[in-house]
Amino acid sequence: MEMQMETNAALEATVERLAAAADLLEQAMQRLAERQQESEITIGRISATVEAALEDRLKAAEEKMAQLEAEATAHVSGEPAGRRKTLPAGMSTMLAKQGVAVDSLEAGSLDAALNGLSIEQRFAVKSQLLRSGMLA
């Protein structure tokens, strides 16, 4: 009889300890849930349409990159894009009269060919050829 009472008392103590542990666990869970809620960030407004502004910015950036790449490639090849290699008609006529072919200009032969011109005319012809990129 005495032994049974002791067993009951031990059981009661165990149940009390378990109940206390369960309470603690519940409180811990509640605190964790509160912390989780606190750590969440609230966004004011979201609409499930494609973010147009972002896509537009990406498209503009891609276009700019392509343009820069094209410019860099043209620069590396040594041929400036869009540079004209033409002479005014009067200048071409003057060179033709001196027997100079515009397509095959060389610095040495040019000086010889322009011997018949005045110094001012030679300066004018050479500066024009330099501007047009036909003479380096």
Partner 1 sequence: MTERTAKAVRKHRQTGSATRSAPPLELRAMAVEFPLVHGHPNRLPFEGVLTLVDVASDRAPNGARGHRVVLTRSAAEAALPSLLGMAVDYKAGWDGHDARQKCGIITSAELDGRQLRVGGYLFARDFPEMEQTIQAAPMGMSYELADAHVADMRASVWTLTRATFTGAAILLRDKAAYRSTSFRVKQAAPRSRRVPVAAVH
Q: Give the nearest distance from C-beta 92 to partner 1 in angstroms.
A: 56
Task: List Cβ neighbours of 48 (8 Å cut-off, separation of 6 or more).
Answer: none
For residue 87, give the 3-state DSSP assignment.
coil
Phi, psi dihedrals of residue 118, rounded to the nearest 5°: -70, 165
Binders of partner 1 in range 24-43 (CB under 8 A): 37, 40-43
Interatomic CA distance for residues 133 and 136, integer angstroms: 7
Which one, 37 or 77, has the nearer CB to partner 1? 37
Which one, 42 or 118, has the nearer CB to partner 1? 42
Given candidates 54, 76, 89, 136, which one binds partner 1 under the rule CB under 8 A?
54
Q: Which stretch binds partner 1 (CB under 8 A): 44-52, 78-86, 95-103, 124-132?
A: 44-52
What would the x/- binding string for partner 1 be over residues 57 to 96, using CB under 8 A?
Answer: ----------------------------------------
Nearest to 37 by CA among 48, 47, 29, 27: 29
Pseudo-torsion of CA 57, 63, 66, 72, nearest 10°? -90
Instruction: Point out which residues bind partner 1 (CB under 8 A).
Output: 37, 40-52, 54
